[in-house]
Amino acid sequence: MEQALPDPERPLKPAALEPLGRSDAGLEAGVGEEAEGSREEGSGTDTMTENNFGLKKIEISVSEAEKRTGRNAMNMQETYTAYLIETRSVEHADGQSVLTDSLWRRYSEFELLRNYLLVYYPHIVVPPLPEKRAEFVWHKLSADNMDPDFVERRRIGLENFLLRVASHPILCRDKIFYLFLTQEGNWKETVNETGFQLKADSRLKALNATFRVKNPDKRFTELKHYSDELQSVISHLLRVRARVADRLYGVYKVHGNYGRVFSEWSAIEKEMGDGLQSAGHHMDVYASSIDDILEDEEHYADQLKEYLFYAEALRAVCRKHELMQYDLEMAAQDLASKKQQCEELATGTVRTFSLKGMTTKLFGQETPEQREARIKVLEEQINEGEQQLKSKNLEGREFVKNAWTDIERFKEQKNRDLKEALISYAVMQISMCKKGIQVWTNAKECFSKM
């Protein structure tokens, strides 16, 4: 059930920011509808969006990968992989067709785009990138990030990342994302001109807020614990899958020994030779099929890895909330301290020990004019502090409302995706077992005809 939006005029206090709102927006295919404004309402940040992209929807694909050699920022020779991004309009604003656009991007440019999105949309669970280096691999799978099979899987993952961003109701409208798809030259300069690096929260500051916040929001705390558990469970599942893949590979390849033995045996038998030769052929086919099977399995493993990395995206939203809550508490504490100082000056009583109180006792009281001047300065600071606290309260409630809406959207997406992936994986295992049964059934028929 949705909760009512808190009254902006209620008494200001550093209570935990309440998560509000529910999301009814699921993941959609393709790029979202045309942007209608230059500012995204409710984002809580000054985001860059395009007034009119001119496109209703576009198709996005990362169609190929290419190994290249060049010089890095340190002027050193390096080898890297570039990915070809192709975009094609499905529906144009004026009804005319548009040719396919294409450009090349490095993995580091995808990282730059995501880092920008994390800073400008802290209330959004930003889709993760595929792994930069292979993890949870079984022994026959290369961990080299230049391995063709790994590059191909990463190509698919990068395409999925772009589709995730393009189908998000807010991220799809961002100007920098649009330019990432359409502007090959000077794109990095355009991103850096936004100054997003200066707005990024330091990890030390976030860690400090985590331990010092006094009134953490229970729902965000539970979400952080859930993200930790989700990461732990998926990591364990991927490790189990890698061990099973190792053993399965061995079992299938042993069937190749059956094929070799049956073929050798057929050479010394006259009446049983044809049956043994046919059985050996079925065993060879069965043994060689494991390579394709495990290659298909890797795609399901990559789907699980995506949500392994999504766990960190959830924690990023939680960390931002903790920072805002900590800033709110510090502002309230500072305001209370100034109010107390003002009251003590007005009444001439000191309720707590302070260096100023000791100085007064040692060197005498201030003149009435000095006291009035200090009271006036404190009153101005109190008025300014109350406005800042009110602003932080409103900003915090808006952040929580938008963040929880996106978290609910993410939960729906996660439940749907993982359900489909696990069902498809089970269907693949059933099909694999049926093929094994069919191989031995064929072998039995070959033996029966001897």
* Per-residue model confidence as pLDDT tens digits over 226-246: 999 999 999 999 999 888 888
Structure tokens at 289: 């099929």
Burial of 123 per CB tally in 10 Å (0-12, 13-18, 19+): buried
pLDDT of 40 over the 50 cut? no
Contacts of 243 (CB under 8 A, 6+ apart): 138
Q: What is the pLDDT of residue 211?
A: 66
- Overall average pLDDT of the 191-206 stretch: 77
- Overall average pLDDT of the 424-433 stretch: 91
DSSP H or E run through 232: helix 218-266
Instruction: Confirm if 153 and 302 have CB atoms less than 8 A apart.
Output: yes
Tell me which residue of 115, 108, 97, 85 sits closest to 184, measured CA to CA: 85
pLDDT of 412 over the 90 cut? yes
Instruction: Give the C-alpha separation, 222 to 215, whole Å.
Output: 14
Structure tokens at 425: 């994986």
Q: What is the pLDDT of residue 349?
A: 67
Q: Would you place residue 166 in the very low, low, confident or very high pLDDT band (cuts 50, 70, 90)?
A: very high
Handedness of CA 7, 8, 9, 10 (dihedral sign): positive
Q: What is the pLDDT of residue 207?
A: 66
Single-letter amino acid, residue 210 = T
